[in-house]
A and B are shown apart, each in its own frame.
Chain A
Amino acid sequence: MVSVMTDARQRVIFDLKRQSVRELNQFLHGDLGGIQEVLVENPDGAHSLAVGLNAPVRVDIGGHAGYYAAGMNQSATVVVHGNAGPGVAENMMSGRVEVSGFASGGAGASAHGGLLIIRGDAGLRCGISLKGADIVVGGEVGSFSAFMAQAGRIVICGDAGDGLGDSLYEAVIYVRGTVRSLGADARVEPMSERDHNAVRELLFAAGLSHASSEFKRIASARSLYHWNADARQSY
């Protein structure tokens, strides 16, 4: 059993200067008995903070997180008050993960559900192999983002790097800034009313106020869905 401290707001406090990440995660995986908020102090870039959660608890990480923060999240809200290392919210199933600073590579990789909000920039391969989650990036995304993304939506308020949406399946990307280059089979398509609504809904959820008309839609041309023997490895 982990001994816990609470503050005036009945938040449970973990201080990672004194307690281990394993203690934190075991506590979060146990019976929370009505505890609704957990504050993690001095994270100092530790790996695997608040991973594998499966309860509607809110976890505030008071600083920078290392690799895989909030990975495999289900139902919980995890807020990183700082930057996140590689693989934040990877394979998230549901719930909400927010990063107030930048996120390193592979943010939201393979996430099936839930909402990932990155207020700063996201590194390379953001939303790679996305399987149904929504991602909102306040800044720019690095190269090879949304590679082979299968389902879900990505809203990028800044610019995108090279190879955006390479080999996309049915995920849809909305970009406000410029795209350095599109990946194979990704194309710009007209925004429908449904697309405008999707962008509005996701920006509202993230507390951002851009107009949906500033965004363009990028989706799969679906030309890679079937083998084309005449393509001669041209893509």
Chain B
Amino acid sequence: MCGIVGLLLKDASLRPRLGELMVPMLIGMTERGPDSSGMAVFAEAVAGDRRKLSLYCAQSGFDWRALQAAWVGRLGEAQFDINANHCIVTTSADLGRARKFIAAEYHDVHVLSAGRSIDLYKDVGLPAEVAERYGFTRLSGTHLVGHTRMATESAVTTENAHPYTAGEDWCLVHNGSLANPGSLRRKLEKLGERFESDCDTEGACRYLHWRLSSGESLEQAIEHAFSDFDGFFTFLMGTRDKLALVRDPFACKPAVVAETDEYVAIASEFRSLAHLPGVKHATVFEPKPAQVYAWSV
């Protein structure tokens, strides 16, 4: 079991309140996922050729400023926004070189996400604790994808928590389990994808990203996933300007959507949506199996 939440704000005046509206959604899914939780937030894209990297280090008191100094010396200018165990780096440096630099010299630092719009936070602990630790209520932006995890197939660690990312401005969360993550992983590793965790979901995330970057539409990529994934899933995916949702054809894993003129909110269960403004008058529906739903900012 796991909990999924997503929120896309159509009404721009609500966007400064994205985190505040989302935190009760995340906490509402505590019983479905008390082990760990995470959130990918999409906000206005950084300018020009700049990119953002969300970094994570499990060591408490890790010296981010020392990393920044080394970074500037090696890769050039970078802004570091430090938030406890997480840090968002905004830079014009080449992302490939930046990833190599971190992998080679900072084994304990993980790159959780990269892109022009995405920031990503994830950690072990109750959703309320993780939300408090990183100040989720203060987050603003256009849309976000959140997850509460009840681990079933791999250990309770930050790396195994969701959301997962691949490439730039792409993330995925998963409720369910895949029976063939090993074969997916071997297939993708041969194609050059590098895995960073043991979780079955990472394979799904990288698989779909690989299909999207080879030019397929989301619908085409998911159509392939129906035959290549052996298992159960409700996936919620985020891109720079979209949220997308799909349930497998057996639809064992729940999802409910509430849509108003102001927002689209998605959760595993209605109890995570009950606090939203105007939800009593929202269009509430259960997504059908094997159908791709997508909403744009």
Q: A residues engaging B (CB < 8 A)?
A: 44-47, 63-64, 66-67, 83, 85-86, 101-102, 104-105, 123-124, 142-144
Contacts and interface: CB of A to CB of B under 8 A. Distances in A.
B285 interface: yes
A130 B273 CA distance: 31
Contact of A124 (B250, B271, B272): B250
B274 A44 contact: yes
B226 to A, nearest CB: 14
Interface size class of B (residues with CB under 8 A): 10 to 19
B289 interface: yes
Contacts of B270: 44-45, 64, 66, 83, 85
A66 B271 contact: yes
B251 A124 contact: yes
B269 A66 contact: yes
B289 A102 contact: no
Contacts of B16: none
Interface string B240-275: 000000000111101010000000000001111111
A144 B250 CA distance: 9
Given A123-B286, A124-B289, A143-B289, A104 B271 contact: no
A90 to B, nearest CB: 15
A67 B32 CA distance: 12
Contacts of A46: 271
B279 to A, nearest CB: 9
Interface in B11-44: none
Given A64-B274, A144-B250, 14 more contacts: A44-B271, A45-B269, A45-B270, A46-B271, A64-B270, A64-B284, A83-B270, A85-B254, A104-B254, A124-B289, A142-B288, A142-B289, A143-B249, A143-B250
Interface string B269-297: 11111110000100011101100000000
A45 B270 CA distance: 5
28 contacts: A44-B270, A44-B275, A45-B269, A45-B271, A45-B272, A45-B274, A46-B271, A47-B271, A63-B280, A64-B270, A64-B284, A66-B270, A66-B271, A83-B256, A83-B270, A101-B284, A102-B285, A104-B254, A104-B286, A105-B252, A123-B286, A124-B251, A124-B289, A142-B251, A142-B289, A143-B249, A143-B251, A143-B289
